Amino acid sequence: MSGSESGLDIRWPIGLLFLAIGVAVAVFGIFSASRTDLWGAQINLNLWWGVIMTAFGLGMIWGGARAGRRAS
């Protein structure tokens, strides 16, 4: 084992961070009544960005878990 290798894949903490913030933003978007007029459509940006951040976080966690299983 070289000095640059550690037991924690960087995708885990980044994925957990994006997951937590994404869920918080999505929940805020669900319960807030603010809508943004974007190209003539009323869009709840908090809800959609929360969903995108949650999906990204889950993808990072999945990638870290998959790499951990492959390395074992």
Domain boundaries defined on the chain: 11-71
% of the chain at pLDDT higher than 70: 82
Is 53's pLDDT higher than 70? yes
CA angle 14, 55, 6 (to 5 degrees): 25
Please state the rounded mean pLDDT for residues 39-67: 89
d(CA 61, CA 31): 27
Q: Which residues pair with 41 in a beta bridge?
A: 38
In 3-state terms, what secondary structure has residue 71?
Answer: helix
What residue has token string 């994404």?
22
Query: Which one-letter DSSP state was computed for residue 18?
Result: H
Give the single-character DSSP code of 10. Answer: T
**pLDDT interval class at 23 (50, 70, 90):** very high
Provide the pLDDT for residue 20. Answer: 97
